[in-house]
């Protein structure tokens, strides 16, 4: 069923059934390109959450006992269904999150592949046999940790949920996932693929609600064995503390404020083009988005000129319109935050090279923005901007640039541009980040781990490491005689 705006009706998925939720309370879903309400998301009650928890407890028993080859086959079928539906899922995503259609459909295709990758990796979750005394069999097994409570945000409406769902299900866990109330239909479309692929009831439960009510209830429940969160540092800190109180491990994929160091021997034009492309993807609403540009003083003008040209070439518009390369911000909170960060920087002496304000039209559109002469104490240099805004500042000494780059509590992504292998190694060793890219600003890949250090969180998603949080290690020693 779809609404008048072509947006599907959204429901909760609990114990294998789509349902409305106990009290009939809902929250509006807004198209950020038009500010129109395009649907309503049901909010779970405590009783709904308890049903989801009971279902996850039962679902875990069923799923862990399902042979791994069968589990993998179901996950592959779900991935194939998602691939077939990628264009439609992309359209839903654009309606509720704003990103351009090609980017949205690309995300749906990519996450189908994430699922395939984790499904296959589950078949290699080997234990080991350890040499021991004669007559003793000493083994190490890896077992699913149990039901998972997961919380994911709105910036990657398919990527966020799928990273958690694919790892949990591949490991043999069940999951209750609270996807974002702002992008719920994309999450529901993913869940529908699993349902149609034959996933047993209760293994995957999707809820929406008042975020704090949902996380309080799920994290405190004895059913839940792992808390997995993607989102901001303050909320991550809160949920990690709750998990700690309940003596549960957690996986925290939090924010960043990624430095880009452009060294004196780099090609400033190439560096500016690559960095600008990454900056404006998803309107800068990416946890690994390059967001502080530290450029050697000798390259500053050339880099800034090219970066500004690239910013001005971005086609801002409704993601459903062909030719759009950057959509609106996903919600009004981001718009207000960017206006505040820009005003603060300008008040402290920054110069706007391009952009700097919201577009004069309905929708949460903010112009691609380049600022120079931004002092280090500007909020923009210290707070994750999560938007299409680039402060460019000069440096003269690489140690000084490394000190600025490492000077914040964040440690998610970092980028360096240099022609020298020795300098690349200095950056690789010296930058405090979980993800480092040299001479490019490419995105994450399924095959390799992503995650932060310092306040950006702990645990890894992607790569074989992704299953670590979802598996426990059990030592079994068996005296045979």
Binder of ligand NAD out of 32, 39, 153, 411 (CB under 6 A): 153
Nearest-5° Cα angle at 324, 321 to 330: 90
CA–CA distances in Å: residue 183 to residues 71, 177, 195, 208, 279:
28, 13, 19, 10, 22
Give me the least distance between CB of 236 and ligand NAD, in Å please: 8
* Alpha-carbon span 462 to 377, nearest angstrom: 35
Q: Enter the DSSP assignment of 7.
A: P
* Alpha-carbon span 170 to 68, nearest angstrom: 8
* Alpha-carbon span 334 to 347, nearest angstrom: 20
Residue linked to tokens 């479309």: 189
Query: Of the two residues 280 and 386, which places its CB atom closer to ligand NAD in the complex?
Result: 386
Strands (E), 314-378: 351-354, 369-372
Binder of ligand NAD out of 63, 117, 154, 458 (CB under 6 A): 154
CA-nearest of 276, 278, 289, 365 to 327 is 365
Give me the least distance between CB of 380 and ligand NAD, in Å please: 12
Two tokens, residue 40: 């309503």
Two tokens, residue 339: 């206006």
Query: Of the two residues 318 and 384, which places its CB atom closer to ligand NAD in the complex?
Result: 384
Binder of ligand NAD out of 59, 184, 202, 255 (CB under 6 A): 255
* Alpha-carbon span 371 to 163, nearest angstrom: 34
Give me the least distance between CB of 232 and ligand NAD, in Å please: 3
Terminal CA-CA length for the chain: 64
* Alpha-carbon span 34 to 20, nearest angstrom: 27
- Residue 215 lies near ligand NAD (rule: CB under 6 A): yes
How many C-beta atoms lie closer than 10 Å to residue 400's C-beta? 11
Give me the least distance between CB of 419 and ligand NAD, in Å please: 32
- Residue 341 lies near ligand NAD (rule: CB under 6 A): no
Give me the least distance between CB of 181 and ligand NAD, in Å please: 6
Query: Of the two residues 43 and 371, which places its CB atom closer to ligand NAD in the complex?
Result: 43
Active site residue 287: yes
Q: Quick one: angle between helices 68-84 and 101-122, nearest 10?
A: 170
How far out from the chain centre does Cα 109 lie? Answer: 16
Query: Of the two residues 217 and 426, which places its CB atom closer to ligand NAD in the complex?
Result: 217
Q: With beta carbons less than 8 A apart as the criterion, state whether 71 and 122 touch.
A: yes
Binder of ligand NAD out of 92, 251, 254, 427 (CB under 6 A): 254
Query: Of the two residues 230 and 304, which places its CB atom closer to ligand NAD in the complex?
Result: 230
Binding mask 280-319 for ligand NAD (x = CB under 6 A): -------x--------------------------------
Query: Of the two residues 121 and 455, which places its CB atom closer to ligand NAD in the complex?
Result: 455
Residues 367 to 406 in contact with ligand NAD, rule: CB under 6 A = 384, 386
Query: Residue 86, exposed/middle/buried by CB under 10 A (0-12, 13-18, 19+)?
Result: buried
- Residue 443 lies near ligand NAD (rule: CB under 6 A): no
- Residue 250 lies near ligand NAD (rule: CB under 6 A): no
Binder of ligand NAD out of 72, 155, 221, 282 (CB under 6 A): 155
- Residue 230 lies near ligand NAD (rule: CB under 6 A): yes
Instruction: For 361-392, give one letter per residue: b (16+ CB within 10 A) or e.
Output: eebbbbbbbbbbbbeeebbbbebbbbbbbbbb
| Options 287, 306, 432, 441, the catalytic residue | 287
Query: Of the two residues 154 and 417, which places its CB atom closer to ligand NAD in the complex?
Result: 154
Binder of ligand NAD out of 42, 159, 209, 231 (CB under 6 A): 231
CA 312, 389, 344, 401 dihedral sign is negative
- Residue 333 lies near ligand NAD (rule: CB under 6 A): yes
Binder of ligand NAD out of 37, 212, 241, 476 (CB under 6 A): 212
Give me the least distance between CB of 151 and ligand NAD, in Å please: 4
- Residue 180 lies near ligand NAD (rule: CB under 6 A): yes
| Options 103, 107, 182, 253, the catalytic residue | 253
Residue nearest to ligand NAD (CB): 232
Binder of ligand NAD out of 211, 249, 407, 449 (CB under 6 A): 211
Which residues have a Cβ under 8 Å from the Cβ of 407 and sit 6 or more positions away?
none
Query: Of the two residues 237 and 273, which places its CB atom closer to ligand NAD in the complex?
Result: 237
Active site residue 173: no
Provide the binding-site residues for ligand NAD, judged by CB under 6 A: 151, 153-155, 180, 211-212, 215, 230-232, 235, 238-239, 253-255, 287, 333, 384, 386
Residues taking part in catalysis: 253, 287
């Amino acid at each position: 069923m779809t609404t008048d705006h072509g947006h599907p009706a959204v429901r909760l998925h609990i114990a294998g059934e789509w349902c409305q939720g106990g009290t009939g309370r809902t929250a509006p879903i807004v198209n950020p390109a038009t500010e129109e309400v395009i649907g309503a998301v049901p909010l779970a009650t405590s009783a709904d959450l308890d049903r989801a928890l009971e279902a996850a407890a039962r679902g875990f028993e069923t799923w862990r006992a399902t042979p791994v080859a069968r589990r993998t086959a179901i996950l592959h079928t779900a991935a194939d269904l998602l691939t077939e539906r990628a264009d439609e899922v992309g359209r839903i995503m654009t309606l509720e999150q704003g990103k351009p259609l090609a980017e949205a459909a690309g995300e749906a295709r990519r996450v189908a592949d994430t699922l395939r990758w984790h499904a296959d990796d589950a078949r290699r979750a080997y234990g080991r046999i350890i040499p021991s005394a004669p007559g003793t069999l000493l083994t190490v097994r890896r077992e699913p940790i149990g039901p998972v409570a997961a919380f994911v945000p709105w910036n990657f409406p398919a990527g966020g949920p799928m990273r958690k769902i694919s790892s949990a299900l591949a490991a043999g866990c069940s999951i209750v996932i609270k996807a974002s109330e702002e992008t719920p239909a994309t999450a529901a479309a993913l869940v529908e693929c699993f349902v149609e692929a034959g996933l047993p009831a209760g293994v995957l439960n999707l809820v929406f609600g008042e975020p704090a009510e949902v996380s309080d209830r799920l994290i405190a429940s004895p059913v839940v064995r792992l808390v997995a969160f993607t989102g901001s540092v303050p909320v991550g800190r809160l949920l990690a503390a709750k998990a700690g109180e309940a003596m549960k491990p957690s996986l925290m994929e939090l924010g960043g404020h990624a430095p880009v160091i452009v060294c004196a021997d780099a090609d400033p034009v190439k560096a500016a083009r690559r960095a600008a492309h990454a900056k404006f993807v998803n309107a800068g609403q990416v946890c690994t988005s390059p967001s502080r540009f530290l450029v050697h003083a000798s390259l500053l003008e050339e880099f800034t000129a090219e970066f500004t040209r690239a910013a001005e070439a971005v086609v801002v518009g409704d993601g459903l319109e062909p030719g759009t390369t950057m959509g609106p911000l996903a919600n009004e909170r981001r718009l207000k935050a960017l206006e505040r960060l820009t005003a603060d920087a300008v008040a402290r002496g920054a110069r706007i090279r391009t952009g700097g304000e919201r577009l004069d039209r309905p929708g949460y559109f903010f112009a691609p923005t380049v600022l120079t002469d931004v002092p280090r104490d500007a909020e923009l240099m210290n707070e994750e901007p999560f938007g299409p805004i680039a402060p460019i500042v000069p440096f003269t000494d690489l140690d000084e640039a490394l000190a600025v780059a490492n000077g914040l509590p964040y440690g998610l992504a970092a980028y360096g541009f240099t022609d020298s292998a020795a300098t690349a190694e200095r950056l690789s060793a010296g930058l405090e980040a979980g993800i480092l890219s040299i001479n490019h600003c490419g995105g994450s890949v399924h095959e390799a781990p992503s995650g932060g250090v310092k306040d950006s969180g702990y645990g890894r998603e992607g790569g074989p490491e992704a299953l670590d949080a979802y598996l426990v290690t059990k030592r079994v020693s068996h005296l045979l005689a």
